[in-house]
Structure 1
Amino acid sequence: MSAPKKGDLSSTEKELFQVITAGDVQEASRLLGCKDVRVNCLDEYGMTPLMHAAYKGKADMCKLLLQHGADVNCNEHEHGYTALMFAGLSGKTDITWMMLDAGAETDVVNSVGRTAAQMAAFVGQHDCVTVINNFFSRARLDYYTKPQGLEKEPKLPPKLAGPLHKVIMSTSLNPVKLVLLVKENPLLAEVEALDKCRRVMELICEKCVKQQDMNEVLAMKMHFISCVLGKCASFLKEREDKLDGLIKCLLKGRESDGFPVFQEKFVRECIRKFPYCNATLLQQLVRSIAPVEIGNDPTAISVLTQAITGQVGFMDSEFCTTCGEKGAEKRCSICKMVIYCDQTCQKMHWFTHKKVCKKLQEQREKQEAESAKLREKHSNEENKAVQGATDSLQTLSVEPNSEAPPSDPPAPAETPSPAPITTADN
């Protein structure tokens, strides 16, 4: 079958594009089995069926097309768009993930020089930006599960690849969340396993910095995960309460306002230990964090998360106070000032939050009372202004000048004075 050309479609291929728009997966599957249908055929704009399915947010259709050999990196589009770019524009994180998992390249740029992540950010699809910026293929990690060169054993035991990959792919960099991911997997929660994983993270960090297309963002993330894994290992060696003790240390707030000082210092120390001092990202992080006194905004974890995930200002989302997961909606029923994912995170944080909960409640009630007074004051002022304007309209009118000339305007020197404004006689 000939190589696809823009707009050169058989009648069955034209039907395929229509079926994709309708979302009929069963009919699409039938059409893809026809001899005159090319899975990478191009419409008049250079869009493939996969690009159409990604842009329209059809996850099942994308899966079907990939199974039939769709080229995830085709860039014959007239403006250089790829399927990953269309996935980012659609705002569908599952499709974005699917394109990445199928081998989509993240650093390809379109005709205006934007990558898929930059395009998604431009249209406000920050969840897709996060997925793209945090993606690390399992294949890249599996490289370390095989002996290389003269090695007799791999650097990473194969059984650890899955659990470690889950940690790497976490979109939350909150150290509590990362420790919880370690804790929930018995294979990871051992000193020897953590040491091996930490070493692999350091190697990946080094590779990201020294490769031709340097990736400082991924390098910083791998370094940070390495630091968290190292801290987990040290607690497992030294503490009887093990990782529960580390979680409590990270969550414990100071007496005055509940701010997690240990966590803030730990994150700052991790950033400071980044081994590549000339990295632009490191210098940006230091400039953002160093002048900020501990306890003030922005926190180190918020600056780090913004730099790595690309979530500018975190938009309008709420984040769990305990684990940092996005989209938290549960609030403390007493103070209503602290947000959690669920009851589990609330219980985990209660040991320290209970010390300041009442104080936060009083602050909230005071702020609400002051806001109510301010609103009432503004409302009264507005009502007075409206009433004053109404009274003026009711008491004032303009008396018409019946003796004005009918047509020709008077000479400038003889222009009559304006008609007097008087009280209307009823």
Structure 2
Amino acid sequence: MPPMTAAVVRSIFEDDVPPTEHTLLMSAAIKGDVKSVQRYLKQKGQQDRHGYTALMLAVMNEQLECAQLLAPCEAKIQDNFGCTALMHAAKRGSVDVISLLLEHEAGIRCFMGWTALTWGLDCQNPAAIDLLLRVPEECSAPLTLLRAIARCSKDIVAKISKHAQFADLKSARDWALKRRYTDAVDALDTDLQQDS
């Protein structure tokens, strides 16, 4: 894992990317220009100063056709924060793009240890979350359960807790109890009773 330098952290949060920084492939992906994406595919795999690829930029701009063209050649590349295109799709709740990228990038973790599911909990899109829940590798990160407790409904906590180890369930329950997430405590108690 590369060190989190001030420059890396700054690059994650700054939005003032100079337009000249992008390759022709990246610019085409942002605009959804399928013909130009096909024309400039030889530029695949390049990253801007944030570590974004043309695939990530297509995902961020909801350009599904471009993402379909770019997925086979740019999947599994991580940006400066360790996020993949699937994680960017999950953050946005983009069900079609999640479906496309799941087979390529499921289970990859960013530098914080989060999977696409962990990122996707913020979007509050039940269809996107359910799609990610179908992949066991997405549910296995203990941080995913804690994030669900803090961000989501009792139903989503219950779905994620089905994939957790007994020790993780106990720790998550204690964490939820300290923070007074009573709905989550109820859901976890049900799972703990079934596992014991």
Q: What's the TM-score bracket when you normalise by the shorter of the two chains?
A: 0.5 to 0.7
Q: What residue in structure 1 maps to residue 190 of structure 2?
A: 308
Instruction: Specify every segment of 5 or more residues in structure 2 that has no aligned partner in the other structure, as ranges.
Output: 1-7, 9-44, 171-184
Which residues of 2 match residues 126-145 of structure 1 at below 5 A?
Answer: 126-134=154-162
Q: Within 1, Cα distance between the matches of 2:148 and 2:186?
A: 20
| Residues 206-260 of structure 1 deviation map (CA, whole Å, 9 limit, x = unaligned) | xx9xxxx43797xxxxxxxxxxxxxxxxxxxxxxxxxxxxxxxxxxxxxxxxxxx
Q: What residue in structure 1 maps to residue 108 of structure 2?
A: 74
| TM-score (normalised: structure 2) | 0.55
Amino acid aligned to 2:190: I
Which residues of 2 match residues 271-290 of structure 1 at below 5 A?
Answer: none
Q: 1:50 to 1:124 in 2, by over 3 A?
A: same
Q: What residue in structure 1 maps to residue 166 of structure 2?
A: 214
CA drift at 1:28: 0.8
Q: What residue in structure 2 maps to residue 31 of structure 1?
A: 70
Instruction: Specify every segment of 5 or more residues in structure 1 that has no aligned partner in the other structure, as ranges.
Output: 1-6, 110-114, 136-207, 218-279, 281-302, 311-426
CA drift at 1:124: 4.2
CA drift at 1:107: 4.0
Q: Does 1:100 align with 2:139?
A: no
Q: Does 1:22 align with 2:22?
A: no
CA drift at 1:32: 2.2
Q: Within 1, Cα distance between the matches of 2:153 and 2:89?
A: 17
CA drift at 1:20: 0.4
Contact 1:84-1:96 within 8 A present in 2 as well:
yes
Query: 106, 116, 119: which is aligned to 2:147?
Result: 119
CA drift at 1:97: 2.1
Q: 1:54 to 1:216 in 2, by over 3 A?
A: closer
Q: Within 2, Cα distance between the matches of 1:82 and 1:216?
A: 17
Contact 2:95-2:128 within 8 A present in 1 as well:
yes
Q: Within 2, Cα distance between the matches of 1:30 and 1:92?
A: 25
Contact 2:116-2:138 within 8 A present in 1 as well:
no
CA drift at 1:123: 2.6
| Residues 294-337 of structure 1 deviation map (CA, whole Å, 9 limit, x = unaligned) | xxxxxxxxx96563379xxxxxxxxxxxxxxxxxxxxxxxxxxx
Query: Identity of counterpart residues, as a percentage?
Result: 20
Which residues of 2 match residues 247-396 of structure 1 at below 5 A?
Answer: 305=187, 307-308=189-190
| Residues 136-163 of structure 1 deviation map (CA, whole Å, 9 limit, x = unaligned) | xxxxxxxxxxxxxxxxxxxxxxxxxxxx
Q: Larger relative contact order (C-alpha < 8 A, sep ≥ 6)?
A: 2
Larger CA deviation: 124-133 vs 40-49: 124-133
Larger CA deviation: 20-29 vs 44-53: 20-29
Q: 1:306 to 1:100 in 2, by over 3 A?
A: closer
Amino acid aligned to 2:166: M
Q: Within 2, Cα distance between the matches of 1:309 and 1:19?
A: 40
Q: 1:53 to 1:96 in 2, by over 3 A?
A: same
Q: Within 1, Cα distance between the matches of 2:95 and 2:128?
A: 6
| Residues 85-142 of structure 1 deviation map (CA, whole Å, 9 limit, x = unaligned) | 1122322222222222122253424xxxxx212102213454432331246xxxxxxx
CA drift at 1:48: 0.6
Q: 1:14 to 1:215 in 2, by over 3 A?
A: same
Amino acid aligned to 1:57: G
Contact 2:116-2:132 within 8 A present in 1 as well:
yes
Q: Within 2, Cα distance between the matches of 1:44 and 1:80?
A: 14
Q: Within 1, Cα distance between the matches of 2:167 and 2:65?
A: 41
Amino acid aligned to 2:189: A
Q: Does 1:50 align with 2:107?
A: no
Q: Within 2, Cα distance between the matches of 1:57 and 1:106?
A: 17
Q: What residue in structure 2 maps to residue 40 of structure 1?
A: 76
| Residues 27-80 of structure 1 deviation map (CA, whole Å, 9 limit, x = unaligned) | 2102224xxx331101111101111111111111000112xx3232111x2212
Amino acid aligned to 2:71: L
| TM-score (normalised: structure 1) | 0.28
Q: Within 2, Cα distance between the matches of 1:57 and 1:216?
A: 26
Q: Within 2, Cα distance between the matches of 1:107 and 1:29?
A: 27
Q: What residue in structure 1 maps to residue 121 of structure 2?
A: 88
CA drift at 1:14: 1.9
Q: Within 2, Cα distance between the matches of 1:107 and 1:118?
A: 12
Contact 1:89-1:123 within 8 A present in 2 as well:
yes
Query: 4, 7, 10: which is aligned to 2:46?
Result: 10
Query: 96, 101, 106: which is aligned to 1:60?
Result: 96
Q: Within 2, Cα distance between the matches of 1:105 and 1:11?
A: 25
Root mean square deviation, CA, Å: 3.6
Q: 1:309 to 1:97 in 2, by over 3 A?
A: farther
